[in-house]
């Protein structure tokens, strides 16, 4: 849990070298071995990764965009970004 708390003010960013193709409101992300389609609210989160916006700020944007509680949005953002970090797509 300490890692999650630390990441609240950390700034997630896309890893260099990962290929990203935007198709309408979705992202196709990956390398030559695998690809991941990011859609819906996940695409909104991914689009917010500009290298300046903290995880907490992304959660606020999600809460505003989708009309959900900020703490719920924060938990979802951290979980989603943690999964992308595990796949080497984002880093803190």
Domain with 41 in it: what CATH number? Answer: 1.10.10.1150
Give which of 24, 58, 8, 80 is closest to 66, Cα–Cα. 58
How far, in Å, CA of 3 to CA of 54, rounded?
14
Domain range for 80 is 1-91
Supply the pLDDT for residue 2.
Answer: 46
Supply the pLDDT for residue 32.
Answer: 78
pLDDT in tens, the chain (92 residues): 445 545 667 899 999 889 999 988 899 998 878 889 999 999 999 999 999 999 999 999 999 999 999 999 999 999 999 999 999 999 98
Please give the structure tokens belonging to residue 38. Answer: 């990011």
Q: How many domains does the chain have?
A: 1
**Bridge partner list, 27:** 22, 38
Q: Cβ-count burial of 89 within 10 angstroms (0-12 exposed, 13-18 middle, 19+ buried)?
A: buried
């Amino acid at each position: 849990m300490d890692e999650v708390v630390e990441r609240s003010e950390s700034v997630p960013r896309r890893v260099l070298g990962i290929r990203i193709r935007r198709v309408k409101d979705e992202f196709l992300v990956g390398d030559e071995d695998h690809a991941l389609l990011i859609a819906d609210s996940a695409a909104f989160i991914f689009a917010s990764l500009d290298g300046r916006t903290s995880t907490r700020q992304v959660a606020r944007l999600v809460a505003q965009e989708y009309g959900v509680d900020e703490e719920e949005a924060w938990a979802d953002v951290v979980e989603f970004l943690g999964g992308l970090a595990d796949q080497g797509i984002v880093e803190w």
